[in-house]
């Protein structure tokens, strides 16, 4: 057996290892109800902030606790507990991605990502005051 063959086998083994561990280290997108079925696993849940119910952030009490209600893409609403600061501009978010687990009836999130509608696209041509 040539060295090249040994090296080749090692490489293929490493590549397969990389794929397998990498795939093992993924979370998946889910709805609240899917997340509730596997409360031990972390999920990405996409949804919208329920503006009617508002949000609670009292930094004087706890700067690392922010709660609000989110409606997921299947229309289900859950209370979200985020162990982080309230993101700046939270109210303007158009879509939210949460990373976390269901705990009881609440979704405990450790990360939050937001999409703002203004991103890269706002403003129409309009008259400006003469300066």
Residues of this chain that bind another protein (CB under 8 A): 2-4, 7, 11, 14-15, 18-19, 21-23, 25-30, 42-44, 46, 57, 59-65, 83-89, 92, 95, 97, 99, 110-111, 113, 115-116, 118-128, 130
Asked if residue 116 lies in contact with residue 61, where contact means CB atoms within 8 angstroms, the answer is: no
Taking the complex as a whole, how short is the minimal distance between the CB of residue 110 and another protein, in angstroms?
6
Of the pair 19, 56, the CB lying nearest another protein is at 19
Of the pair 75, 123, the CB lying nearest another protein is at 123
Of the pair 53, 63, the CB lying nearest another protein is at 63
Look up tokens 């609403």; give the residue: 77
Asked if residue 97 lies in contact with residue 44, where contact means CB atoms within 8 angstroms, the answer is: yes
Taking the complex as a whole, how short is the minimal distance between the CB of residue 2 and another protein, in angstroms?
6
Q: What is the CA radius of gyration of the chain?
A: 22
Q: What are the beta bridge partners of residue 130?
A: none
Residue 87: DSSP 8-state: P
Q: What are the beta bridge partners of residue 110?
A: none
Taking the complex as a whole, how short is the minimal distance between the CB of residue 116 and another protein, in angstroms?
5
Please give the Cα distance from 96 to 32 (Å, whole number): 13
């Amino acid at each position: 057996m040539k060295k090249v063959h040994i090296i080749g086998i090692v490489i293929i083994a490493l590549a397969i290892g990389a794929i397998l561990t990498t795939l093992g280290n993924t979370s998946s997108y889910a709805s609240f109800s899917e997340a509730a079925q596997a409360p031990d696993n972390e999920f990405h849940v996409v949804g919208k902030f329920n503006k009617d119910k508002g949000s609670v952030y009292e930094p004087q009490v706890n700067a690392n606790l922010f709660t609000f209600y989110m409606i997921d893409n299947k229309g289900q609403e859950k209370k979200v507990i985020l162990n982080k600061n309230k993101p700046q501009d939270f109210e303007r978010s158009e879509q939210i991605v949460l990373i976390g687990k269901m705990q009881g009836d609440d979704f405990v999130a450790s990360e939050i990502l937001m999409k703002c509608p203004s991103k890269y696209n706002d403003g129409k041509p309009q008259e400006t005051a003469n300066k």
